[in-house]
């Protein structure tokens, strides 16, 4: 009897493989499904069951691909937003047995109409469930967002409240296995800690501890969540059943000249933030490899081609994995070593950085200067540098005609990373006189400077 959590960084996604008696089930597989096959091989088990807790909007499901490779059945909850071509629709009291384990479906709508949870029972120790896969219904420290269906937000929030009450009836002793951890776009208050139980959540979860269904619906209505444009692509692919990743594919390492000759629609510089600031190729969009999952989907079109600029080929490979998980397969190649680019005669561009003292000075004296904070609106409202304007980094990426900057601007965020992404986008769009507040809000706080809106 074995349960493994597979964490997909960037998306903060958790999928699971659970097995007993030589048979395994996979919960919410990601698109690059090799990892499940490897675990199955290592554990000597046969994957026969695949559960989707709901139709994902932020990542491509690997259920169709894994089913094709293994012959496993795919189970999906009732009322999906379309025909799930590759899955059986299951309702309560659907259950499957694997060895001594029994997996029972619970309908837990709210995040989406088709959300289910799957309770785990051990027949050898049968008194009460021992765990539950909660999908995007319940996270550690938070619950799922309920803003996906236009004009139905209050209805969905109410449904989620009801679903959560049902989950709690499983008992305090039940271990919670959610589909996302901290950093996901699917919940903004998720705990750093990945392990919890229904009992610990009942006591500590900020939403579960609300007094009533009404208070819950109100709290959900007050939340703000972003919806990157790629969600609509992913939703469509997760109905059809996305093709598996071709894991033999590895984009060639090319010289910058050869890479440009392919005329990629996008040139993404996946190196470190200071690597980009200190010298980059004109026209490249800064998107450090760890930020691809969060931000590539804001500005890249489904069929647009991509060239990568990286410090090393391994990083390009990781970037390709991240891109593929959200539906972008069109990477043409990678150019390494920006120094070699410079040596071939192509001058590098830099972006100036400024520190706390400079920003503090400017806030007092600079006319026509903008301090642009690109964090989420929730972060901004929780506290920001006095006088700063807000414009979300995703929105900067999504369209070149905004924000409205007349004159020099300093871009900031929490640490300087998202600020660099946004600054890079602005420079690509033709803005000039842009610099980056390195350290950003954290440095500002560490220096004990005054904060507005906290």
Verify binding: residue 296, its own copies, rule CB under 8 A. Answer: no
Closest approach, Cβ 78 to its own copies, in A, equals 29
| 165 near its own copies, rule: CB under 8 A | no
126 binds its own copies per the rule CB under 8 A: yes
* Integer Rg of the chain from CA: 23
Smallest separation, CB 344 to its own copies (Å): 6
- Which of 192, 367, 401, 404 is in the footprint of its own copies by CB under 8 A? 192
Q: In angstroms, give the least distance from the CB of 48 to its own copies.
A: 9
Is 152 a residue that touches its own copies (CB under 8 A)?
no
Task: State the binding string over 405-424 for its own copies (x if CB under 8 A, else -).
Answer: ---------xxxx-------
The CA–CA distances, whole Å, from 51 to 177, 258, 321 equal 13, 44, 22
Among 311, 329, 381, 395, binds its own copies (CB under 8 A): 311
- Identify the residue whose tokens are 């060239």: 307
User: CB of residue 231 vs its own copies: minimum separation in angstroms?
Assistant: 27
CA distance 434 to 427: 7
Segment interacting with its own copies, rule: CB under 8 A, options 228-236, 340-348, 379-387, 421-429: 340-348
User: Of residues 81, 168, 175, 377, which one binds its own copies by CB under 8 A?
Assistant: 175
Is 260 a binding residue for its own copies by CB under 8 A? The answer is no
| 330 touches its own copies by CB under 8 A | no
440 touching its own copies, by CB under 8 A: yes
Handedness of CA 74, 160, 182, 413 (dihedral sign): positive
Using alpha carbons, select from 275, 291, 286, 420 the residue that is nearest to residue 342.
275
- Phi-psi sector, 196: left (phi>0), alpha (psi -120 to 50), beta: beta
Minimum CB distance to its own copies smaller for 202 or for 213? 202
343 near its own copies, rule: CB under 8 A: yes
425 binds its own copies (CB under 8 A): no
> From the list 224, 232, 442, 453, which residue makes contact with its own copies (rule: CB under 8 A)?
442
Contact 121, 129 (CB under 8 A): yes
Q: Of these, 10, 29, 77, 141, which contacts its own copies (CB under 8 A)?
A: 141
Which is closer to its own copies, CB of 61 or CB of 440? 440
433 interacts with its own copies by CB under 8 A: no
Residue 183 engages its own copies in binding (rule: CB under 8 A) = no
For the bound state, the minimum distance from the C-beta of residue 85 to its own copies, rounded and expressed in Å, comes to 20
CB of 248 to its own copies, least distance (A): 6
Nearest distance, CB of residue 92 and its own copies, angstroms: 22
Count the site residues for its own copies by CB under 8 A. 102
Q: Is 197 in the site for its own copies (CB under 8 A)?
A: yes
What number of other Cβ atoms are within 10 A of residue 244's Cβ? Answer: 18
Torsion on CA atoms 297, 374, 288, 401, rounded to nearest 10: 60
* Region of 31-39, 145-153, 389-397, 425-433 interacting with its own copies (CB under 8 A): 31-39
CA distances from 274 to 262, 286, 352, 419, 434 (A): 27, 10, 10, 12, 15
Regarding 97 and contact with its own copies (CB under 8 A), the answer is no
Decide: is 167 part of the binding site for its own copies (CB under 8 A): no
Place of tokens 């259920």: 63
283 lies in the site for its own copies, by CB under 8 A? no
Residue 130 in the binding site for its own copies (CB under 8 A): yes
If one asks whether residue 29 binds its own copies (CB under 8 A), the answer comes out as: no
Q: Tell me, residue by residue from 50 to 89, as one string, x for binding to its own copies by CB under 8 A and - for no binding.
A: -------------------xx-------------------
Q: Which residue in the set 212, 248, 303, 406 belongs to the binding site for its own copies (CB under 8 A)?
A: 248
Least distance in angstroms from the C-beta of 232 to its own copies: 28
Residue 196 touches its own copies, criterion: CB under 8 A = yes
> Is residue 200 at the binding interface for its own copies, with CB under 8 A as the rule?
yes
Q: Site residues for its own copies, window 346-405 (CB under 8 A)?
A: 346-348, 350-353, 355-357
């Amino acid at each position: 009897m074995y349960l493994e959590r597979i964490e997909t960084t960037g998306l903060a996604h958790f999928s699971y493989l659970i097995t007993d008696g030589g048979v395994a089930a996979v919960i919410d597989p990601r698109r690059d499904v090799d990892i499940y096959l490897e675990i199955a091989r290592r554990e000597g088990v046969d994957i026969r069951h695949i559960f989707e807790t709901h139709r994902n909007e932020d990542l491509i499901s690997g259920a169709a691909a894994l089913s094709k490779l293994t012959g496993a059945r795919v189970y999906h909850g009732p009322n999906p937003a379309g025909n799930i071509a590759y899955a059986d629709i299951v309702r309560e009291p659907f259950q499957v047995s694997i060895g001594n384990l029994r997996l029972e479906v619970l309908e837990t709508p709210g995040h989406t109409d088709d959300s289910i949870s799957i309770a785990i029972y051990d027949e050898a120790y049968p008194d009460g469930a021992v765990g539950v896969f909660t999908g995007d219904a319940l996270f550690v420290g938070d619950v799922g967002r309920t803003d996906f269906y236009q004009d139905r937000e209050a209805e969905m929030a109410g449904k989620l409240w009801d679903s959560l009450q049902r989950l709690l009836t499983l008992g305090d002793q039940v271990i919670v296995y959610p589909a996302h951890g901290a950093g996901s776009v699917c919940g903004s208050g998720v705990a750093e800690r990945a392990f919890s139980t229904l009992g610990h959540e009942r006591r500590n979860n900020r939403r579960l501890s609300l007094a009533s269904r009404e208070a819950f619906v109100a709290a959900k209505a007050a939340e703000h969540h972003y919806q990157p444009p790629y969600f609509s692509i992913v939703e469509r692919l997760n109905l059809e059943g996305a093709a598996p990743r071709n894991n033999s594919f590895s984009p060639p390492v090319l010289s910058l000249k050869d890479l440009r000759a392919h005329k990629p629609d996008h040139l993404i510089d996946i190196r470190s933030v200071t690597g980009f600031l200190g010298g980059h190729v004109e026209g490249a969009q800064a998107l450090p490899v760890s930020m691809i999952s969060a931000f590539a989907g804001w500005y890249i079109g489904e069929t647009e081609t991509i060239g990568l600029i990286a410090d090393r080929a391994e990083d390009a490979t990781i970037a390709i994995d991240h891109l593929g998980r959200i539906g972008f397969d069109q990477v043409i190649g990678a150019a390494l070593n920006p120094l070699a680019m410079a040596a071939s005669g192509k001058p590098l561009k830099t972006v100036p950085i400024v520190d706390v003292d400079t920003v503090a000075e400017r806030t007092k004296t600079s006319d026509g200067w903008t301090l642009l904070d690109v964090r989420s609106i929730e972060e901004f409202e929780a506290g920001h540098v006095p006088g700063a304007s807000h414009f979300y980094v995703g929105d900067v990426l999504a369209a070149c005609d905004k924000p409205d900057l007349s004159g020099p601007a300093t871009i900031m965020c929490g640490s300087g990373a998202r600020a660099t992404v946004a600054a890079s986008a602005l420079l690509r769009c033709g803005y000039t006189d842009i610099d980056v507040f390195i350290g950003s809000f954290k440095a500002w706080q560490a220096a004990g400077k005054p904060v507005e809106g906290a």
